[in-house]
Structure 1
């Protein structure tokens, strides 16, 4: 049996591969069309103009759907483990589920409203995605420690916490420095006073985004251990 066919392993694998491809493909197309600078564009800058905006929107929406499935799968896995161990508060597990779903909603908003058309809504969706996403991976890190040794290994628990800390440290510069960026053009003027703020914000944004990707990468071994089935009951 191929390793990626074990349990629900294909869910986090698909999410990681597809999300990474979303960022890279839209960046390469935007770069090829010279819509963005080679260095330090915002992720949303790479999906601002057609045709890359169409590809970015579609791929981001698919990532959000894959994220919903993966987050729900993780929720049910923890719930099942907790039936026997009783080491994780059900409220904590449900809170993580809600935060994860809100992050996916933020992704859908980002995919639907382009940066250059409805800026306020796009920025609100991005803030929702990043803020709830960081909280989600912190809660899942805490859940992982509570479940040890019934869930993941201690090495995986530590890796998840390290990724969560990196995402948190990068989140604040992403948001704070963005407030000082006045340039709205996709081609940034390196001589402008706000360019250093743009660089700091953009670099940290990429770090946060790929921190999420790395975090879901740690789900792969866990998802080999279980499957989900739909049960129909007639009343």
Structure 2
């Protein structure tokens, strides 16, 4: 009697493809680590630039300082994700995911508040709603990812994780609305240097 081989369904094929990607995530460690470390440096630079921009517009507040701390912690989480894949060290990977996604989501919600409270706010008509939409979507994805991970649905949790990463890229891209107002960037490590530069600039204009 001939046996008929069962044809795998589309769901099984998609699940096997996702599991293959998860396996590659753990195998090709150096490439993905280098990419996420570069993302860590880029995210950290954006966080510092946004903090300094709000501060330069005389909008220094505790909320802006909190955003700097949250952004710094989230950037560290991205670095941990790049160095510890889930197939290698699950505990470290989950810690990095928590810092990158949960703390990062809190950072972007703080940026929603700063969009309407801090300058420059010329583009808040579209930047504010865009941040609210993507932050709300990220909140739903974080909750779904946590639920799927707890009930053992690794494939669905991985899909939520990748969708969350894409939404984070969009949220970082929205900073272009504020960063287009940047003329130049100066870093002062002492108040004396800052006061000296502010005193010299009017004198140069008078000349």
What TM-score, normalized to structure 2?
A: 0.76
Do the aligned partners of residues 149 and 230 (structure 1) sit closer, same or farther apart at CA in structure 2, a change above 3 Å counting? closer
Of 174, 178, 190, 1:222 maps to: 178
**Is this contact kept in 1: 2:115–2:121, CA < 8 A?**
no
Shift of 1:219: 1.0
Find the counterpart in structure 1 of residue 197 from structure 2.
none
Find the counterpart in structure 2 of residue 173 from structure 1.
144
**Is this contact kept in 1: 2:54–2:119, CA < 8 A?**
no
**Is this contact kept in 2: 1:43–1:202, CA < 8 A?**
no
**Is this contact kept in 2: 1:148–1:154, CA < 8 A?**
no
CA distance in 2, matches of 1:217, 1:104: 16
Find the counterpart in structure 2 of residue 203 from structure 1.
159
- Indicate the SS of the match to 2:123: coil
Of 82, 85, 91, 1:120 maps to: 91
- Indicate the SS of the match to 2:151: coil
Q: Which runs of 5+ in 2 are unaligned?
A: 1-14, 194-207
CA distance in 2, matches of 1:137, 1:116: 29
Find the counterpart in structure 2 of residue 4 from structure 1.
none
**Is this contact kept in 2: 1:47–1:57, CA < 8 A?**
no
Q: Which runs of 5+ in 1 are unaligned?
A: 1-35, 182-196
C-alpha distance after superposition, 1:57-116 (max 9, x if no partner): 0110011011100110011111122x1xx5xx6111111111111111111111112222
Bigger mean CA deviation after superposition, 124-133 or 222-231: 222-231
Find the counterpart in structure 1 of residue 42 from structure 2.
66
Q: Report how many residues are paired.
A: 177
Q: Which has the larger radius of gyration?
A: 2
Shift of 1:152: 2.9
Find the counterpart in structure 2 of residue 79 from structure 1.
55
Do the aligned partners of residues 130 and 171 (structure 1) sit closer, same or farther apart at CA in structure 2, a change above 3 Å counting? same
What TM-score, normalized to structure 1?
A: 0.68
Bigger mean CA deviation after superposition, 170-179 or 200-209: 200-209
Find the counterpart in structure 2 of residue 107 from structure 1.
78
Higher relative contact order (CA closer than 8 Å, sequence separation 6+): 1
